[in-house]
């Protein structure tokens, strides 16, 4: 097994799935000869040809709508949106068309599209290159929302998404594209959707987090360990449908829960996870569920380091939970 | 809007222009007529059903029958149809069962889509009649994707997408036309310019002289056709579909027509258009016009009997659909995902057990 970056693992997943199944196509802006602005599709055009690696005009409505029609007519499209911040023109196509095709036609038509989009901050990209939009999609019936935090998960989850029968919003933590490396199995490799990962086992506090915040959580947990606090980190990997069983079992054991995400706090996914924990683990809780999140402001360019949760803020929440 | 360059086949005297006549055999001509009559009978019944509170809503196509029946007749097996909500006639012409169509109005168990959407939102995979969405023109980019898939598989099929003049103002329209031109796809964009988008006249949708001329900006041919002339629509759409099947790319067709009734059962058209305007268009009724042609050809004897027959067919279909059992409560949670995930199973169980 080779050590590769997260972006390379995504490229590997696309190439592997395209080689396995001729109906898999990728489409988007600059993805062909350009190989994508983050190089996720590098080399695919040469290998699979421009009919399956489709450079589209600059129009997100067109990309998503076209992908829906391709999926309805037997292809397995993987559409790339250059940054998740640029999806909004196509939001209607996603939430009203792609997500609902199966339901509104009672299963006669489906739109199993995978929409890949770099998300999150940490790259000094300012407001339009840093947002964390997962809650919009989690709130939408019919969508699967996944976000990997390791190269192996990136490959395995993306491959499962491509083979699945539901539309998937596949958010990629762009801050981790080249900053994390890890072993990735060669050839076909699947990580099932809907199953979380215990990043680090622990017995005192359950810390639920995903995407670009996983390394932050790991640092905070290491710091907490020096203070004698044993943190269990859970990365759901698929945000929706959530692996609630894994979280529930963990919180019932530890009695404490902290949710960490970089998206704004209000109506963020942390709110939903907190509610689920309260509903399911109330009698086991020794402290209120805590949230460490981005602020309810637009994403700030200059103040990005203060906006994004860091190990320090996370550690404070862990301590507060322990001291409650 | 000008009246320039509008192609007609049926002349005012009730004969057909021999140079443009698509030359359909007699039984086909009669079938076009009968479908137009059936479509109007459905309209009348559906509006009455809504007025008496038996269905929730309806958007009629009265006045536009030549468009959807003519276009529907140009669709062949293997072709795809991405219709707007007013184009049930296209599906009907392709063989969409009347029982399913009427069943959809009620949303009971005879609705193949299980009461998931309001009336006018039909679909039937077996004839590639794709699910209608309410947001205007969203189906146009889907047509592009379906056409792309057909093209890469080397299938000689065409994709018909229908929409109104209001649809030409949307971003989806631009995206779909542009993609079709760039990828040279077999999509026929059939725009029924019925002069209004709810209360907005077409002059408020565009400053261009015609809608068809927009095609040039996307590298596609644009054609204007008399939308109250079923033979002209059949010819123009048929030619465009043939071009598409032959790999020659897409076409934008602007059919000039008029919606004689309200936009929908929620609309009062008297506040935005004059009785004189409507009366003028009533003179151009596409069904009466085609009936005159058929009579001249000796193919039609008694239009009143045809209309009565259609009404009876619709009445019987309504009786069956209205009497069908309601969809089961549990179906609300099905088809959201390919398999029911835990949270929907929990919500379903709590609803069914009365604990939710
Ligand atoms: C995106 C969107 N905006 C607004 C509406 C509300 N609406 C429903 S029909 C309609 C007018 C559509 O007119 P047109 O496209 O000309 O079709 P017609 O109804 O005349 O057949 C409007 C504004 C809608 N359905 N979708």
C-beta contacts of A47-54 below 8 A and 24+ residues apart: A47/A15, A47/A18, A48/A18, A51/A25, A51/B152, A52/A18, A52/A22, A52/A24, A52/A25, A52/A26, A52/B152, A53/A25, A53/A26, A53/A27, A54/A25, A54/A26, A54/A27, A54/A28, A54/B148, A54/B183
pLDDT computed for residue A119 by the predictor: 98
Residue of A nearest to B178 (CA): A57
| Strands across the sheet containing A168-173 | A53-55, A24-28, A76-80, A114-119, A168-173, A144-146, A238-240
Please tell me which residue in B94, B263, B289, B348 is annotated as part of the active site: B263
Q: Which residues of B touch A104 (CB under 8 A)?
A: 113, 116-117, 121, 123, 131, 133
Rounded mean pLDDT, A170-197: 98
State whether A104 and B342 contact (CB < 8 Å).
no
Put simply, the chain A residues between 250 and 289 with a CB less than 8 A from any chain B CB are: none
Cα separation, B348 vs B356, in Å, equals: 9
8 A C-beta contact, residue A193 and residue A146? yes
pLDDT computed for residue A304 by the predictor: 96
**Cα B92 off chain centre by:** 9
Rounded mean pLDDT, A20-39: 96
Mutation for testing the A interface, residue in B145, B151, B337, B350 having most A CBs under 10 Å: B145
Per-residue pLDDT band at A217 (split at 50, 70, 90): very high
Helices B26-51/B303-323 angle, 10° precision: 50
8 A C-beta contact, residue B250 and residue B180? yes
Dihedral over alpha carbons A223, A225, A227, A231 (to 10 degrees): 100
Separation of CA B16 and ligand 1 centre (Å): 34
Over the stretch A50-70, which tens digit does the pLDDT of each residue have?
A: 999 999 999 999 999 999 999
Over the stretch B249-278, which tens digit does the pLDDT of each residue have?
A: 999 999 999 999 999 999 999 999 999 999
Take residue A46 and report the two structure tokens written for it: 């040469």
Cα separation, B35 vs B268, in Å, equals: 27
Rounded mean pLDDT, A119-137: 96
Over the stretch B316-351, which tens digit does the pLDDT of each residue have?
A: 999 999 999 999 999 999 999 999 999 999 999 999
Query: Residue A220's closest CA among A238, A236, A202?
Result: A202
Q: How many Cβ pairs closer than 8 A exist between chain A and B?
A: 147
Instruction: Look at residue B356 and tell me whether its pLDDT is greater than 70.
Output: no
* Mean pLDDT for chain B overall: 96
Counting residues of chain B whose pLDDT is more than 90, the rounded percentage is 97
pLDDT computed for residue A1 by the predictor: 74
Over the stretch B280-325, which tens digit does the pLDDT of each residue have?
A: 999 999 999 999 999 999 999 999 999 999 999 999 999 999 999 9
User: Any bridge partners for residue A169, and if so which?
Assistant: A115, A145
Rounded mean pLDDT, A103-127: 97
pTM: 0.95
pLDDT computed for residue B213 by the predictor: 97
State whether B337 and A102 contact (CB < 8 Å).
yes
Put simply, the chain A residues between 191 and 230 with a CB less than 8 A from any chain B CB are: 194
B285 shares contact with chain A (CB less than 8 Å): no
Counting residues of chain A whose pLDDT is more than 70, the rounded percentage is 100
Rounded mean pLDDT, A147-164: 98
Per-residue pLDDT band at B1 (split at 50, 70, 90): low
Q: Among B123, B145, B178, whose Cβ lies nearest the Cβ of A73?
A: B145
Rounded mean pLDDT, A86-109: 97
Residue A165 is classified by DSSP as S
Q: Rounded to a whole number, what is the distance in Å from the CA of B162 to chain A's nearest CA?
A: 15
Cα separation, B109 vs B319, in Å, equals: 13
B178 shares contact with chain A (CB less than 8 Å): yes
Q: Which residues of A touch B147 (CB under 8 A)?
A: 69
User: Any bridge partners for residue B184, and if so which?
Assistant: none
Separation of CA B199 and ligand 1 centre (Å): 10
Note if A129 is an active site residue.
Answer: yes
Instruction: Look at residue A203 and tell me whether its pLDDT is greater than 90.
Output: yes
Q: Looking at ligand 1, which atom is closest to the CA of residue A92?
A: 1
A140 shares contact with chain B (CB less than 8 Å): no
Q: Which residues of B touch A102 (CB under 8 A)?
A: 335-338
Q: Which residues form ligand 1's pocket by a CB distance below 6 Å?
A: B 86, 134-136, 163-167, 194, 196-198, 263
3-state secondary structure chain B: CCCCCCECCECCCCCECCCCCCCCCHHHHHHHHHHHHHHHHHHHHHHHHHHCCCCCCCCCCCCCHHHHHHHHHCCCCCCEEECCCCCHHHHHHCCCCHHHHHHHHHCCCCCCCCCCCCCCCCCEHHHCECCCCCCCCCHHHHHHHHHHHHHHCCCCCCEEEEEECHHHHCHHHHHHHHHHHHHCCCEEEEEEECCEECCEEHHHCCCCCCCHHHHHHHCCCEEEEECCCHHHHHHHHHHHHHHHHCCCCCEEEEEECCCCCCCCCCCCHHHCCCHHHHHHHHCCCHHHHHHHHHHHCCCCCCHHHHHHHHHHHHHHHHHHHHHCCCCCHHHHHCCCCCCCCHHHHHHHHHHHCCCC
- The set of residues, in sequence order, having a beta carbon less than 8 Å from that of B226 and lying 6+ positions away, is B6, B7, B8, B9, B10, B232, B233, B255, B256
pLDDT computed for residue B81 by the predictor: 98
**Cβ-based neighbour number of residue B277 at 10 Å:** 12
Nearest protein Cα to ligand 1, atom 26? B135
A29 shares contact with chain B (CB less than 8 Å): no
**Cβ-based neighbour number of residue B209 at 10 Å:** 10
pLDDT computed for residue A2 by the predictor: 82
Instruction: Look at residue B80 and tell me whether its pLDDT is greater than 90.
Output: yes
Mutation for testing the A interface, residue in B78, B83, B148, B161 having most A CBs under 10 Å: B148
Residue A27, SS3 per DSSP: strand
Over the stretch B114-163, which tens digit does the pLDDT of each residue have?
A: 999 999 999 999 999 999 999 999 999 999 999 999 999 999 999 999 99
Note if B85 is an active site residue.
Answer: no
Put simply, the chain B residues between 94 and 113 with a CB less than 8 A from any chain A CB are: 112-113
pLDDT computed for residue B2 by the predictor: 67
State whether A142 and B133 contact (CB < 8 Å).
no
Per-residue pLDDT band at B103 (split at 50, 70, 90): very high
B41 shares contact with chain A (CB less than 8 Å): no
A92 shares contact with chain B (CB less than 8 Å): yes
Degrees, nearest 5: CA angle A215-A42-A168: 60
pLDDT computed for residue B355 by the predictor: 82
Please tell me which residue in A127, A129, A139, A284 is annotated as part of the active site: A129
Rounded mean pLDDT, B204-212: 96
Q: Rounded to a whole number, what is the distance in Å from the CA of B173 to chain A's nearest CA?
A: 9
Q: Rounded to a whole number, what is the distance in Å from the CA of A3 to chain B's nearest CA?
A: 34
Q: Among A64, A103, A109, whose Cβ lies nearest the Cβ of B336?
A: A103
Separation of CA B193 and ligand 1 centre (Å): 12
Mutation for testing the A interface, residue in B131, B140, B330 having most A CBs under 10 Å: B131
User: What ipTM does this complex have?
Assistant: 0.92
Q: Are strands B196-197 and B200-201 parallel, antiparallel or unpaired?
A: antiparallel
pLDDT computed for residue A294 by the predictor: 98
Q: Can you tell me which residue has the tokens 């988008």?
A: B197
Q: Rounded to a whole number, what is the distance in Å from the CA of B102 to chain A's nearest CA?
A: 16
Counting residues of chain B whose pLDDT is more than 70, the rounded percentage is 99
């Amino acid at each position: 097994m080779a050590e590769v970056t997260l972006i390379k693992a995504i490229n590997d997943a696309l190439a592997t799935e395209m080689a396995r199944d001729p109906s898999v196509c990728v489409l988007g802006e600059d993805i062909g000869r350009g190989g994508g602005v983050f190089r996720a599709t590098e080399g695919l055009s040469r290998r699979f040809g421009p009919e399956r690696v489709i450079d589209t005009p600059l129009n997100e409505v067109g990309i998503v709508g076209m992908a829906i029609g391709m999926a309805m007519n037997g292809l397995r499209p993987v559409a790339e949106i250059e940054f998740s911040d640029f999806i909004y023109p196509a939001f209607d196509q996603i939430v009203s068309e792609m997500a609902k095709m199966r339901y509104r036609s009672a299963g006669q038509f489906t739109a199993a599209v995978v929409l890949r989009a770099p998300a999150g901050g940490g790259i000094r990209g300012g407001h339009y290159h840093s947002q964390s939009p997962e809650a919009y999609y989690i709130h939408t019936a019919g969508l699967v929302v996944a976000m990997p935090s390791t190269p192996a998960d990136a490959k395995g989850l993306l491959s499962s998404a491509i083979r699945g029968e539901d539309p998937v919003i596949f958010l990629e933590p762009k801050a981790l594209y080249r900053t994390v490396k890890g072993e990735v199995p060669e050839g076909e490799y699947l990580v099932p959707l809907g199953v979380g990962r215990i990043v680090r086992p622990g017995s005192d506090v359950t810390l639920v987090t995903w995407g670009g915040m996983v390394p932050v959580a790991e640092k905070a947990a290491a710091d907490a360990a020096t203070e004698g606090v044993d943190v269990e980190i859970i990365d759901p990997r698929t945000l929706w449908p959530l692996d609630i069983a894994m979280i529930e079992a963990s919180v019932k054991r530890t009695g404490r829960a902290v949710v960490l995400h970089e998206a704004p706090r209000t109506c963020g996914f942390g709110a939903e996870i907190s509610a689920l924990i309260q509903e399911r683990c109330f009698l086991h809780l020794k402290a209120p569920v805590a949230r460490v999140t981005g602020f309810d402001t637009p994403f700030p360019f200059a103040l990005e380091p203060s906006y994004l949760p860091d190990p320090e803020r996370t550690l404070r929440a862990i301590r507060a939970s322990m001291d409650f | 809007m000008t009246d320039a360059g509008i192609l007609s086949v049926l002349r005012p005297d009730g004969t057909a222009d021999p140079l443009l006549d698509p030359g359909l055999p007699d039984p086909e001509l009669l079938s076009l007529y009968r479908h137009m009559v059936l479509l109007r009978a459905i309209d009348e019944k559906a509006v009455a059903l809504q007025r008496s509170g038996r269905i929730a809503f309806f958007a009629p196509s009265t006045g536009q029958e030549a468009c959807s029946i003519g276009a529907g007749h140009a669709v062949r097996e293997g072709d795809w149809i991405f219709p707007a909500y007013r184009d049930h006639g296209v599906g009907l012409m392709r063989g969409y069962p009347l029982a399913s169509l009427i069943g959809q109005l009620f949303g009971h168990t005879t609705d193949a889509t299980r009461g998931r959407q309001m009336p006018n939102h039909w679909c039937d995979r077996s004839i590639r009649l794709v699910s209608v969405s309410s947001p205007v023109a969203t189906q146009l980019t889907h047509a592009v994707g379906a056409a792309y898939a057909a093209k890469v598989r080397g299938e000689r099929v065409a994709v018909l997408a229908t929409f109104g003049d209001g649809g030409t103002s949307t971003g989806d329209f631009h995206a779909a036309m542009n993609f079709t031109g760039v990828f040279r796809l077999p999509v026929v964009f059939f725009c029924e310019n019925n002069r209004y988008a709810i209360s907005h006249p077409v002059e408020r949708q565009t400053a261009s002289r015609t809608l068809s001329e927009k095609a040039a900006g996307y590298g596609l041919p644009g054609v204007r056709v008399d939308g109250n002339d079923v033979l002209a629509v059949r010819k123009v759409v048929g030619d465009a579909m043939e071009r598409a099947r032959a790999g020659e790319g897409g076409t934008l067709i602007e059919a000039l027509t008029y919606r004689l009734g309200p936009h929908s059962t929620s609309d009062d058209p008297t506040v935005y258009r004059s009785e004189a305007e409507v009366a003028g268009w009533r003179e151009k009724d596409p069904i009466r016009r085609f009936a005159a042609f058929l009579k001249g050809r000796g193919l039609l004897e008694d239009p009143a009997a045809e209309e009565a027959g259609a009404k009876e067919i619709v009445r019987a279909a309504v009786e069956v659909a209205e009497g069908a059992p309601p969809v089961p409560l549990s179906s609300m949670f099905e088809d959201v995902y390919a398999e029911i995930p835990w949270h929907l199973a929990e919500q379903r169980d709590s609803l069914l057990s009365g604990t939710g």
